[in-house]
Homo-oligomer: A and B are copies of this chain.
Amino acid sequence: MITIGNELLIGKILNTNMQWLTSAITELGGNVVRVTTVGDYVENIASALLEAFNRKADFIITCGGLGPTFDDKTLEALSKAVNVPLELDGVALRLMKKSYKFRHNSDDERYELTPSRLKMARLPYGAEPLYNPVGSASGVYLKYSGTKIVALPGVPVEMKTIFKEHVAPIIRDLVGDIFRTEGSVKVTEIEESNIAPLIDEVMNEFQDVYVKSHPKREPKLWLELHFSSVSNNKEIAEKSVKEAMSRLSKLIINHGGRVEPII
């Protein structure tokens, strides 16, 4: 995933799009390997794309930089990275007009195709626009030597709408039937460094369960232990997580710790 915008690199806003997208992809059974955040510069966006091509990513999702202003550079960077020209796309143009009429509830035929609006319909050659009913900028879908690429706008409601309608089905197709199960417990009265070898023991016993410890500080120091398992069999995943939670809880209690469920 590539999230784009200077506002993210100066800490002006939290990267909530990253959390929403990674969470939605995980829920669909997808596995996000890396998220790169770059500013509004063609060179930097293109270099993040090229690095993902080099890593043979199956799927790249970019978020941000599709709007009408000069600093919306994602389409230019995409065309540079995949080495095809930008061309005015008739379908994108039609979708933009359709969305405008839909949003303004108007049949106004005088909808002006200013240079700033035309820019949003200039797609990398071979790309397909993804209809955006809640904004002007279409999403973009493109394939490039084994990698699927989707570009989404950064405005959250537009990003979410296009993701649900167009991107979720592609991911479902890619991953097939995959189930992810999770569970957490709260641990106190024992140090994280004393739990570390117990986690190792349980993860050795349950090879399909991933256990991660998260130190928390509210109101005072405690540990969340988070268990997860991914499988094409839902019952197996659930059984493994349940058994691993119970096994590790017993070990921790035997070592003087206290374990509570997190609901």
Give the interface of A toward B (CB within 8 A): 6-16, 18-26, 32-40, 44, 47-48, 51, 55, 67-71, 114-117, 120, 135-136, 155, 157, 192-197, 199-200, 203, 210, 212-215, 217, 226, 228
Contact = CB atoms under 8 A, between A and B. Distances in A.
Given A34-B38, A37-B34, A196 B116 contact: yes
A162 B165 CA distance: 44
Given A34-B38, A39-B33, A7 B215 contact: no
B6 A210 contact: yes
14 contacts: A6-B212, A8-B18, A8-B35, A9-B33, A10-B26, A11-B23, A12-B226, A14-B14, A33-B44, A40-B212, A69-B212, A71-B212, A116-B196, A135-B215
A157 B217 contact: yes
A35 B36 contact: yes
Given A9-B33, A14-B19, A214-B7, A192 B67 contact: yes
A193 B117 contact: yes
A182 B157 CA distance: 27
A226 B71 CA distance: 12
Number of copies: 2
B6 A68 contact: no
Contacts of A40: 212
Given A33-B44, A155-B217, 10 more contacts: A7-B214, A7-B226, A8-B18, A10-B32, A10-B228, A11-B23, A14-B15, A67-B213, A114-B197, A116-B197
A193 B9 contact: no
A69 to B, nearest CB: 4
Contacts of A38: 33-34
Contacts of A199: 69-70
A214 B213 CA distance: 37
A124 to B, nearest CB: 20
